[in-house]
Structure 1
Amino acid sequence: MLDALAAAGCPCWISGGWGVDALVGRQTRPHRDLDLAIDAAREADALRVLADRGYVVETDWRPVRVEVVAPDRGRVDLHPVVFQDGDGRQAGFDGAWFDYPGADLTTGAIDGRAVPCISARLQLTFHQGYEPRDVDILDLRRLKTMT
């Protein structure tokens, strides 16, 4: 999927649980979905790429997020990020914003493959402001060892 998005000119960065795993360099736990920060300017193209692979929109909370699902392939949670001068902002609920400094868009690895992801610092920032689940607590412990 990452290759198909890249081939269609849709930059994306893995975040969430898989993003933590990319920073660790291996899968550390099962995941419900794949969170991807995508360039909001290419959102329609990204959705088209995923639709071509059998994904359909299940949750549409744009401009905050849109989740797609495909039988036997799982879920992808897209987070549209508006970029300007290398830095990005994602809309949140109730007028909130999440900042994506360009310096926090990095590279990790999953199964020996280099993948675009967000930094440990940004992951830690995004894990604030809500009651963490057990998996979040484990992710936070891993992230804190990297900063």
Structure 2
Amino acid sequence: MTIELVHVALDSFDRAGVAVWIGGGWGIDALVGRQTREHRDLDLMYRIEDDPQIREVLSAAGYVAETDWWPVRVEFRGPSYVDVHPLDFAPDGSATQAGLDGARFEYPASAFVHGTIDGRRVGCLSAEQQRLFHSGYELREIDHADLAALASALLER
């Protein structure tokens, strides 16, 4: 997923009036304020009630659902890959994401922050939420690199 395709996707969601928050590697890069590595995909969290618009925007951009584990996540393949994660928001701004086998992932309201990608202010997941998502499984080399970039950027601030 190139930075240009990230901008195209975000522009499309902006035009459709759909709020998204970036997670995964691009989400860490948003917190760091620069691209730290190449990315296979763009991970997006969104309000579950916006699912029809999310699918419509991605379809219009040439994406098709490749892995559909609704309501857990859906991976779209097209010009690149976009992995979407629907969230059920509570009135207090917190959210819940369905997981496999009945699991639930909790997002406190403080998990939704802003970062910067290529000078553009974007919604993204907080450093705390990113660290939480990088726990409970064996980390890959890119996960270690992401966490190191995040830790380094936070120390510089």
Same fold by TM-score greater than 0.5: yes
Query: Over the residues paired in the alignment, what is the CA RMSD in angstroms?
Result: 1.2
| Deviation digits for residues 98-144 of structure 1 (CA, Å, limit 9, x no counterpart) | 11212220110011111110000000001111111000011112233
2:102 to 95, 103, 106: 95
2: CA distance, partners of 1:9 / 1:83: 17
1:120 to 120, 123, 127: 127
SS of alignment partner, residue 99 of structure 1: strand
SS of alignment partner, residue 89 of structure 2: strand
Q: Does 1:11 align with 2:54?
A: no
Q: For the Cα contact (< 8 Å) 1:39–1:82, is it kept in 2?
A: yes
Q: 1:142 maps to which residue?
A: 149
SS of alignment partner, residue 17 of structure 1: helix
2:137 to 130, 137, 146: 130
Unaligned regions of 5+ residues in structure 2, if any?
1-8
SS of alignment partner, residue 27 of structure 1: coil
User: Which deviates more, 97-106 or 35-44?
Assistant: 97-106
Show the 5 A alignment for 1:1-147: 1-70=9-78, 73-85=79-91, 86-145=93-152, 146=154
Q: 2:4 maps to which residue?
A: none
TM-score by length of 1: 0.94
Aligned length: 145
TM-score by length of 2: 0.88
2: CA distance, partners of 1:43 / 1:30: 27
Identity of aligned residues (%): 51
In the TM superposition, structure 1's runs of 4+ consecutive aligned residues that sit over 6 Å from their partners are none
By percentage of residues, which structure has more strand?
A: 1
1: CA distance, partners of 2:110 / 2:84: 21
User: Alpha-carbon deviation of 1:4?
Assistant: 1.6
Unaligned regions of 5+ residues in structure 1, if any?
none
Q: For the Cα contact (< 8 Å) 1:107–1:116, is it kept in 2?
A: yes
Q: For the Cα contact (< 8 Å) 1:21–1:110, is it kept in 2?
A: yes
